Amino acid sequence: METGVRHGVDATPRATSEVTATAIEVFTTRNNDDLVPLSLPDELILEIFSHHVTSFHYANSSWKAHRAWSWNAYGWLAIAHVCRRWRDIVLSAPALWTTIKATSPACVGAFFDRSGQMPMSVVGALNFELGTAHPLPHSWIVIFENAHRIGELHLEYDAMTADQFRSAWIPTFPQLKFLALTVTTGRGLSHDNFPPVLLHVHKSSHLETLETSFLTFSVASQLFAPNLRDLTLSNFGWPTDIDASARWVMLLDALKGLPKLEKLSLLDGPPDVPWDLVAPNASEPPKVTSAPAPLLNLQQLVVRSCSRFGGAIVGTLLENIEVRASPALRQLYMIGPPDRAQGAGVAASSLALFGAALGRKFAAAAAAKPPVLIRSLSLEAKDARRHGAPRVSIGARSAAGVADALSVLSPPRSISTPSPAPESNILEVSLSDASAESIFQHVFTQLPLDAVHSVTIDELSHGAYGSEPYVPTDTVWRETFAHAKDVQHLTISGRSADHLPTALHPQTGHDGQSLFPKLQGLKLRSVAFLTVSLADGMEADEDGEEFWVRGRWYEQFVVALKARSQMGMKLQTLSITGTEAITEAEVLELRAYAEEVNWEAR
C-alpha cells in the first residue's frame, strides 16, 4: 500500500561504473515518471490499522498457543514500523491503544497513557505472587488503579490463591460494561471465591454482560448488577447442603433482580427437577414460587444440561418466569443428552413437561391484548455438525397485523446468534438432542395451532444421532394437526411424506374432519414417486414388500388429491423438487387436481 508520494530511486550509490549508473538512471527515471502518487487520509488508514491481524510465524509452539487473540489486537504494531507517517498515526491514535493484555507494568502504563481517556478492554490472567509483601503483580496494580477507565474485563484466576490478595482499597468500575470471569484451576469443579478486588462490581450501573465459568451460583450472583442484559453461567455449581427446590428458589430470586435481562444462558449447571414439587403423573411443570420471575425483556434462553430430564428442567424454568407476549421470547436452545433407546421413555416424559410449559406460554400470548398467534411451524434438520439435530421454528404475529416471518437458526457451537427482526415475534426452539418422534408427540400436540398458516416438516432421523428416518403415520398426522384448520401452505421432505397421501385423504364427507381443509399450496421435496410393483419382477422378500408399498405412494397421492378436489379442496399450487422419479405424463395428470404444478428435477 502506498500512502504518499513515492520517492524516486537514487541510482548513484548503486552504480559500480559509468555504464551501470547510466542504465540505472534511465530505468529509475522512467519508473518514477510512471508512478501515480496515492495519499489516503489518516482516518482511513487508522480504520485499516484497527482491523489488521498479523501473520507472524510462531517459532515457539507454546507461544503460539498463548492467547492468539493478542496478535489480533496488536496487529497494527508491526505495520507501524513501515514508515514515519504510519508510526505517527499509530502514536497519535488513542483508539488503537484501548486493548491491554496484562504483561509488564511499563507496557500496561504506556497503553493507559496513549489511550487518552477512552474506555479500556483488559484481558489477562491474575496470578498472585505468594510470599511477597504485595501478592498482586505490579501490572495488575496499575490496571486496578485505573479501574475507572475499564469498560471490558476478561479475567482468569487461580481459585487456590484468589483470596490471598488483601488491599486497603477495593476499586470501583464505573464504566465496566462487560465482565468475563473464569477459574483456571480444578476444571470440572465449581469454586466459591473470586478475587476481592471485584467486590464492588455489582455496583456498576453500566455492567450489561456477565460471563462466569466454574463458579458456584451463590458466588456468581454476587456479581449481578441491576442493568444486566446478557448473563451466561457456565459449569456452575450449588451448595451441597440444599435440595433442588431450594436451588430453584435461589435462582429465581436472583433473576427477579434482573428486570432488563435479554439473554440468559445456563450451561452445565441448572438445578435438577424439584421432584418433591411434582405430583405423580403430572402433566405440567411445578410452580416453585408463588410469583414468577418477571423477565419481560427476555429474547433468548439457552439451557444445556447433562440430565436425562433436560426437558423437565427447561419446562420448570419456563413455568416460573414471566415473558412478554410481544415482543416474545424469540430463541430457545435446549441442549442435552440424546433420548436413545436406553432411557428414551424418561426423556420423552421429560419433554412432555417442556411441551406443556411451552404450550401454556403461547396460550397466554394468544389471550394477550392484542393476541399473538402462532402463524408458522417448522421442524427442520439443518445442522450437519449435530447429525441432523431437530430444530423447531415457531413464527407468530399479533392480530394488529405484524407481517409473518420465519428465521432458521442453527444450534450454536458458541452461544452467540443473531436476533430476528424486532417486529418478527419469532420463537426458535432448538431441541438439539430430542428425537423427531418425541417432538411430534410431546411438543406439537400441546401447542395452540388453531391459527397456523404454514407448516414445514423435514426428513429427520428416528433418534437424535442418526438411525432410520422417522416416518409419521397418518394417525400421527391427524392427531398432531387436528386443530390446525387454517393451514394454507405445507412443505414436506423425504420420508416424512410416506403416509401423507393417506393422511390428506378425507375420511368423511365433512370438511371439518379433513386434515388441512384450507390447504392451498403443497411443496414436496425429495419425495419418492416410484411406481414399481411386485409385478415388475421383484422378489416378495421383506425389502421388496417395503419397496412395493412405497411405490404405491403416487397412486395413493392421486386418489387423495382427487377426493379433496371433489370436496372443494383443490390445491392452488403443487411444487415438486429434488426427485426424478416422476414422469411428465404424471405431472400432467396432477394438473387436474391443482391449478398450477411446478416440477424441478434434481
Model pLDDT for residues 143-184, shown as the tens digit of each residue: 888 999 999 999 888 777 666 655 556 888 999 999 999 887
Query: Is 246 buried (19+), middle (13-18) or exposed (0-12) by CB count in 10 A?
Result: middle
- pLDDT for residue 276 is more than 60: yes
State the Cα angle at 110 between 104 and 112, rounded to 5°.
105
Q: Give the pLDDT score at 503.
A: 94
What does 286-337 look like in DSSP terms, one character per residue?
PP-SSS-EE-TT--EEEEE--STTHHHHHHHHHHTEE--SSSPP-EEEEE--
Label residue 558 by pLDDT band (50, 70, 90). very high
Label residue 261 by pLDDT band (50, 70, 90). very high
Judge contact between 396 and 374, C-beta under 8 A.
yes
- pLDDT for residue 517 is more than 90: yes
C-alpha cell at 113: 497513557
d(C-alpha 193, C-alpha 207), whole Å: 20
- pLDDT for residue 9 is more than 70: no
State pTM to two decimals.
0.77
Over residues 320-357, the pLDDT tens digits come to: 999 875 555 777 777 776 555 434 555 567 888 889 99
Label residue 367 by pLDDT band (50, 70, 90). confident
CB contact set of 542 (below 8 Å; sequence gap of 6+):
none
- pLDDT for residue 129 is more than 70: no
- pLDDT for residue 225 is more than 80: yes
Identify which of 531, 541, 549 has the alpha carbon closest to the alpha carbon of residue 473: 549
Label residue 572 by pLDDT band (50, 70, 90). very high
Over residues 467-483, the pLDDT tens digits come to: 678 889 999 999 999 99
C-alpha cell at 225: 448488577
Q: Give the pLDDT score at 174.
A: 92
Q: Give the pLDDT score at 51.
A: 73
Please count the residues of the chain. 602
Q: Is 350 helix (H, G, I), strand (E, B) or coil?
A: helix
pLDDT exceeding 90 applies to what percent of the chain? 29
Q: Give the pLDDT score at 423.
A: 34
Judge contact between 460 and 436, C-beta under 8 A.
yes
Q: Give the mean pLDDT of the chain.
A: 76
Q: Kindly state the average pLDDT of the residues 410-417.
A: 33
Identify which of 202, 195, 196 has the alpha carbon closest to the alpha carbon of residue 173: 202
d(C-alpha 417, C-alpha 422), whole Å: 14
Judge contact between 451 and 373, C-beta under 8 A.
yes
